[in-house]
Amino acid sequence: MKILAIHSSPRPRNLSHTAVMLEASRAYLTEQRPAWRYEETALWNLDITTCDGNGRCFRRDGCTFVDDAETLIDAMLAADGVILASPNYCANVNSTMMRFIERTTRLSHRQLLAGKGALAMSTSASPFDAPYAAEYLRRVLGSYGASVVDVCNIGSPMIVFDYGDTAPGKAMRASLDAFISAVESPSEHVPAETFGVDIRRSLREHPDVAKRLFRSDERYFAEQDRTTKERATDDASH
């Protein structure tokens, strides 16, 4: 299994609450699932162009811009589990994470992370429970079609470096246990909420409008359905 963690902290790694949390997460996942591969990407220094709303991602499976966002989206599609993590800025993710999310719209339109486990994580300097950034990221991951589990938010008036036998450590490990289960059994963790736009349903219910707006998607989903049927046939024959 391949796990991809993406975070948007602007701080140096040793001073980043979010990066420290992910380092502890990596250690725990490696301990629990030694065979899994874990990769982590920091958005802060990547070349990610701001979405200009040109609409190409509605009509085609791609983007006008060729930059690090496209490379990272490909990595998400290749992963078995995805973690998005952001510091809590003004009761939401920071602008670095938001810029990246706006470039991932086609993941929502096509729900391309279906069958993958996902976890939303955030950190906050608030001494109170303030999981706003993680809750937003959970909705985003759900809109991608992922089997997303409950959020993990670590809040403290001081940066938390101790993820051992502490309240933050226990909370993190509980979330990661749920994430492990979602990666291994995604069908058991499909969220009850409805996120994003289901293009498959739109194509069925409004074929004339949908075919004009999403010209390439009909072919895309026809190919996906064919692949799914072939896999089901192969599984039945074994």
pLDDT in tens, 114-170: 999 999 999 988 766 788 999 999 999 999 989 999 999 988 755 566 788 888 899
Residues 6+ apart with CB under 8 A from 88: 122, 123, 124, 125, 126, 130, 131, 132, 133, 134, 153, 155
How does 135-172 read in b/e, with b if 16+ C-beta sit within 10 Å? bbbbbbbbbbbbbbbbbbbbbeeeebeebeeeebbeeb
**Interval 34-57 mean pLDDT:** 93
pTM value? 0.84
Does the structure show a pLDDT above 90 at 57?
no
